[in-house]
Amino acid sequence: MVVVFERITMNRNIQCAHCGCRFEPNPRVKNQSCCSQKDCQRARKRKWRKAKLVSDPDYKANQRDCQRE
């Protein structure tokens, strides 16, 4: 007996915050806002780092010390 499991998904395409293209988010990533293109991932990471530098003085000091070496 062969049992076939079908994946039931809601067609939940969202718009990428960086490039604006429509994509289906990964179900494991709750608040995914960017598609998987390299430029979009780079922009997402750059935005995260910029916000982290402003909000976390320990992270900022660590990054500064890392650049000195």
Q: How confident is the model at residue 69 (pLDDT cuts 50, 70, 90)?
A: low
6 lies in a domain? no
9 lies in a domain? no
Say whether pLDDT at 3 is over 90: no
Per-residue model confidence as pLDDT tens digits over 12-55: 899 999 999 999 999 999 899 999 999 999 999 999 999 999 99
Domain total in the chain = 1
pLDDT at position 12 = 83
pLDDT at position 63 = 93
Say whether pLDDT at 6 is over 60: no
pTM of the predicted structure, to 2 decimals: 0.71
Q: Are 19 and 30 in contact (CB under 8 A)?
A: no
Name the strand (E) or helix (H) holding 16: none
Residue span of the structural domain in which 64 resides: 14-68
34 lies in a domain? yes
